[in-house]
Amino acid sequence: MWRKQEGARTGLTELPKTNATSQQAIAKTSVQMNRDLYESLQRGALHEASVLENARAAGTLAAKKTSSVLPYCHFKPLSAVAISFDWKVGSGVWELLIEAEVKARHAATVDSEALMAATVTALAVFDSCKSISQSIVLGPCYLSRKRT
């Protein structure tokens, strides 16, 4: 049973009555894996392009739907969502680096949308690879840059 805490406010807060400004946020995360999974992806055994493209699509959709998942997040029409991948390999490390950049013209920031995009992208990679390896580690996920 949910109980309202004394003095707690509920509902969306009103945005300031200011003009919309250009908003940008970049979030980063990673998917750490074992050598076997990395090599399977590189060999195409899991169709790496499909894994990454499906993850990119999932992250993009997640950014667009952030306000549907986070109850106090205002809907924002996004002008751009870009998700990029890079590999960090060496010294016993096999890691997929994920960067999600989100842009909008709005009064509220887009940091939650960027974090949602990065996190869901990593989760989609995990979901595609979990049958091959049980030693996948996601994160950390963090806000790398925010510009308002």
d(CA 122, CA 31): 6
d(CA 72, CA 108): 12
> What domains are there in the chain, each with its CATH number?
21-147 (3.30.70.640)
pTM (global) more than 0.85: yes
pLDDT digits (tens, 9 = 90+) for 124-143: 999 999 988 999 999 999 99
The dihedral of CA 94, 88, 147, 82: what is its sign? negative
Provide the annotated active-site residues. Answer: 127
User: What pLDDT does residue 42 have?
Assistant: 87
Name residues of the chain where pLDDT drops below 70.
1-17, 48
pLDDT digits (tens, 9 = 90+) for 68-81: 999 989 999 999 99
User: What pLDDT does residue 3 have?
Assistant: 46
Amino acid sitting at position 116: M
